[in-house]
Structure 1
């Protein structure tokens, strides 16, 4: 039976505990799990039976969260890990090898630009950064060694929206997966798999948990990609020596990527989510469908107010009629364009910094997606490691301030911005 979003958010993966009847998913704070006998243990280690071995790999609390997020995204399976950054590496790990590359959007979170532009080089991987609003440039960037396209559904920090179906068509024609970071949209505003994405990643730290208490990440697999269509993905289509020649795609079908990410990715990379963090996220997701409409409603009102203020030179919110991405947002993100965007302050870098320091209600933190409204000056913090050219390409120019709009009374948020702008531009 097809269920509504809120019903799924509350019930998927969250059955009563069979051992105790506990209605909320318990925190299974355990390292290991007792085997029934030696044969049971051998079958688990040979991937002949599904169960719990060791909490680096699998844990019942984390498993409940994986089931819930996969259901919300319409995926075949999901793997949780320690952070959103960990989820990005987990997504790439089964796909990549030395000398292989990805095509990535220029409009990505600054830490992701650094991870893809610098850190993954240590694995022998590389990234080509392309403006995904230019389909011909995307096609031209793909070569025989390209193994994925990576983009954010709604970009951080600018709040630009991605035309996922258009990029998915390019990925399909090239025979490679499209990976979409859906952190800012959440499955409430966008379900990338329905628009053609192969894999979806989240920083669960943000809106999915919604209260700024934990870090976590997840990779959701659509289950729709044919990993054996060519020889580009040997980790999934060829025999795995560590499991006596087992072939993941042949053995597990639509669940191949998920099983590989647990049996090899978590086993060897160890980027495990802790059960208490999973518990907080499970509780946060229960109210996701209530929180996101308020986030979006407040963001729309704040963005409109800022756009009409003479002390502001520009606002990037895709929900504004003036935005170049407004038509795409209305077509693909009909419930709203999220609650993160930037605006440029008259007076440049100095005025932007003064504004941040003058705000009272907005918390100055390196986070987003909290119930509280948050602010940061990206050029001096999250995007500090980038060149000014890269900062501008990512929507984090020196005069730009990023806002993550919370669920407070919107009039109070506007009043706080008003007084801060007065001090910053005096």
Structure 2
């Protein structure tokens, strides 16, 4: 790949470089296994001494091209694709943490991630502290423990829509000597590149804007290659791995130690691999990422401005609005646009909100976001339903909150649909 390519060009041509006579469009290699003529070469594959595909649970040519494109877009040294965004978060954390360890996470995160951390990880013996991201750095440092292994946050909180203070959280992670992992699902690498702001590990639910058309589940973990595992005392990356004849990931793979370990240990053992067909669709979806994110952002801002001034709306939240608490941060970290998610509350209460949603014609009620089509959802009764009301509030979910995933349809049509539905209340 040309190192000076723009993000727009990487979206189209990154990840896959066909040779003469090969398919111009990335092919789907729908195969579980691969043919070899030399048994010694296969042995080298299993010792991680040679490059190649041994089995599609660990790697596959189509999946590999998608992973490379994501790594190029984020500016990382490597990536691993997984079967879902949830599995990407799980593997990203388990690659660092084990029983007895601790995670320091921002509280304003997706409900599914909150449940994963608070419930499933707790059963595994991994403790998680959820911190208000608006706390001062000194207060956040006090929440760290001797066994803290990673700092976690979402670039745009879902659905609170707060923008993470990269500078503060990067300093936090450096001060306690742990990696800084961020979920970049809502911003995408086109709107924000977290590595440039101090992040070490990037996570995506590729199901959302990466795919962009609500067809495929998938996730990605990207390694920035900028964390010193040996210097910071992470022995699992330094000590010999007996399952690969005593290999040391740091000594053998250098800056790629984290992502190689994730692939050959966790993907190998847990099997949460991405299918070649889904990788093909997501690689294809990335070809229009830059165009879609511009349109999503423009439409969301226009709709947010309309809702903010509507007589039936009690409040509207979107980082691009001057009234939003993260507006200044959006200018710093999201100069190209604030993505396509907004939230708002309707005067009256939950019954009025239900009436509004039932009367939408263009927008649909969907348990999803990041689709090219506009959709709405009531998070308190759906995605964040498992959380207590107190934890919902900490995540930025109020009882009246309606989340809108603004699509790329004509903005006048979207606004007319919302206006008509609001008038029905």
Residues 167-223 of structure 1, C-alpha deviation per residue, up to 9 Å, x if partnerless? 111101111011110000000110000100000000001101110000000000000
Give the structure 1 partner of residue 187 of structure 2.
185
* Partner SS for 2:104: strand
Give the structure 1 partner of residue 311 of structure 2.
310
Asked if 1:409 is matched to 2:410, the reply is: yes
Give the structure 1 partner of residue 345 of structure 2.
344
Correspondence 1:171-250 to 2 at 5 A: 171-231=173-233, 233-250=234-251
Distance 2:58 2:41 in 1: 17
Distance 2:310 2:396 in 1: 20
* Contact in 2 for aligned 1:372/1:407 (Cα 8 Å): yes
* Partner SS for 1:205: coil
TM-score, length-normalised on structure 2? 0.97
Distance 2:77 2:238 in 1: 18
Structure 1 unmatched ranges of 5 or more: none
Give the structure 2 partner of residue 280 of structure 1.
281
User: How many residues are matched?
Assistant: 422
What is the Cα deviation at residue 35 of structure 1? 2.2
Distance 2:103 2:359 in 1: 41
Asked if 1:85 is matched to 2:86, the reply is: yes
What is the Cα deviation at residue 123 of structure 1? 1.5
* Partner SS for 1:75: coil
Distance 2:332 2:146 in 1: 33
Q: Is the alpha carbon distance of 1:240 and 1:401 closer, same or farther for their aligned partners in structure 2, counting shifts above 3 Å?
A: same
Q: Could you list the runs of 4 or more consecutive aligned residues of structure 1 that deviate by over 4 angstroms after TM superposition?
A: none
Give the structure 2 partner of residue 115 of structure 1.
116
* Contact in 2 for aligned 1:94/1:236 (Cα 8 Å): no
Correspondence 1:261-280 to 2 at 5 A: 261-280=262-281
Distance 2:350 2:397 in 1: 11
Aligned equivalent of 2:155, options 153, 161, 166 = 153
Residues 208-253 of structure 1, C-alpha deviation per residue, up to 9 Å, x if partnerless? 111000000000000010010133x222121111111111011100
* Contact in 2 for aligned 1:131/1:137 (Cα 8 Å): no
Structure 2 unmatched ranges of 5 or more: none
* Contact in 1 for aligned 2:150/2:181 (Cα 8 Å): yes
* Partner SS for 2:277: helix
* Partner SS for 2:424: helix
* Contact in 2 for aligned 1:356/1:377 (Cα 8 Å): no
Correspondence 1:37-52 to 2 at 5 A: 37-52=38-53
Distance 1:413 1:163 in 2: 32
* Contact in 1 for aligned 2:178/2:232 (Cα 8 Å): no
